[in-house]
Amino acid sequence: MAVKYNVIEKKLPGSNNNGQIKYFAVVKSTGKVGLTEMTSYIESICTVNGADIRAVLYALEEFIIKSLNDGKTVEIGEIGNIKVRVNSEGEDSANLVSLKSIKKARATFLPGKRLKNMLRNLTYKLC
């Protein structure tokens, strides 16, 4: 199955571009899958029951939040890693960088080898 995409137009930011318009491909989601679908699928391919699967997935979420809050990178087997990254203001010298310089934190996912391979081999289809 192919990943669907749309084409959108955007004005390029900045005074050097003079409002120049460019066109970009943007992936169009074909829906969401949640915990119920994930649990049903996992239950269908192994011997663990749905209640135990959900319990483990909820515990995994709590573990990831706790570990990221402790400043750790979370390695999820071959799936990949999750870590905290921040955006900060640039300061004129290193000693001026402080907590006030940090503007935004986000969790970043870095895919493992199998996911990277899947991403390299995706096929696409225009909607």
Share of the chain above pLDDT 90, in %: 88
Task: For residue range 11-50, list pLDDT tens digits in order.
Answer: 887 767 677 888 999 999 999 999 999 999 999 999 999 9
Angle subtended at Cα 51 by Cα 48 and Cα 41, rounded to the nearest 5 degrees:
60
- Locate the domains of the chain by residue range: 73-121
Using CA atoms, how far residue 62 sits from 40, 55, 81, 116, in Å, is: 21, 11, 16, 26
Question: What gap in Å lies between CA 57 and CA 2, rounded to an integer?
Answer: 28
Question: What gap in Å lies between CA 9 and CA 119, rounded to an integer?
Answer: 24
* Residue labelled with tokens 């491909």: 25
